[in-house]
Amino acid sequence: MIKLVNVNMNFRGKQVLKDINLTIEQGEIMVIIGPSGSGKSTLLRLIIGLLKPTSGEIWVNGREITTMTEDELNKIRLEMGMVFQYSALFDSMSVGENVAFGLRQHTDMPEEEIARTVRRKLRMVGLRGQETAMPNELSGGMKKRVSLARAIAIDPHIVLYDEPTAGLDPIMSNTINRLIVSTRRMIDATSVVVTHDMSSVFSIADRIAMIYGGSIIETGTPEKIRQSENPIMVKFIRGGSAESKGRSRV
């Protein structure tokens, strides 16, 4: 479970997140939406402990992380996997080495077991047998899938996704969305997904939180959000769809 209590974040005096209160239950897929610059990525970086809030508490699986040392945070991060916006694979390493990276860095798992785990995780994301491929031989969607396999290699309790379908065509976006849902089912992970892509939002979310100007203006199930009468939300849902269609043609 993830819980943010009265979280404020300022960058050089500019308030980027204002009094955020948000609870994400164990096993839930929470999708964070909001316009560009509203503070979505900042929220993810706070949850993974890359940023410390100006004030407020952040609880991850029952522990308050804002007062932790870097060593303590590194341990907590082992319970989290992150899928970065641009996949962030190591280009000089093969697919298998990318997926194995965290296991080699943070566990003393024997090589045979690492190889078995890598094989299993690649199978989960539909990339069976791609261990020796290099990232530059892969399409954007395949890179995203490798990035997901790497994020879940150490069986995290929490998976964070930053714009997982950005730049992908609608078919590959659907594949990634199905993987987000099946990953939650397979490893019972709590998932936080930041996205602009409104078609993804409604197909994967258990709940949606809308950030606007640094504040959460509405939280609820997809049905509740669809029926929202908040003019900002109504406008965003319509505009967001148009934006995601435009982007997917690129």
Residues of this chain that bind ligand ATP (CB under 6 A): 11, 16, 34, 36-42
Nearer of residues 54 and 182 to ligand ATP, judged by Cβ: 54
Nearer of residues 11 and 90 to ligand ATP, judged by Cβ: 11
Nearer of residues 46 and 146 to ligand ATP, judged by Cβ: 46
Residue 69, Cβ density class (10 Å: 0-12 exposed, 13-18 middle, ≥19 buried): exposed
Contact by Cβ (8 Å): 2, 192: yes
Nearer of residues 40 and 145 to ligand ATP, judged by Cβ: 40
In the complex, least distance from residue 97 CB atom to ligand ATP, rounded to whole angstroms = 29
> Residue 11: which residues within 8 A CB-CB, separation 6 or more?
none
In the complex, least distance from residue 212 CB atom to ligand ATP, rounded to whole angstroms = 10
In the complex, least distance from residue 35 CB atom to ligand ATP, rounded to whole angstroms = 7
DSSP 216: E
Take residue 55 and report the two structure tokens written for it: 């004030």
* CB-facing half-sphere around the CA of 228: CA atoms within 13 A: 21
The helix/strand count (H/E) of the chain reads as 9, 10
In the complex, least distance from residue 188 CB atom to ligand ATP, rounded to whole angstroms = 27
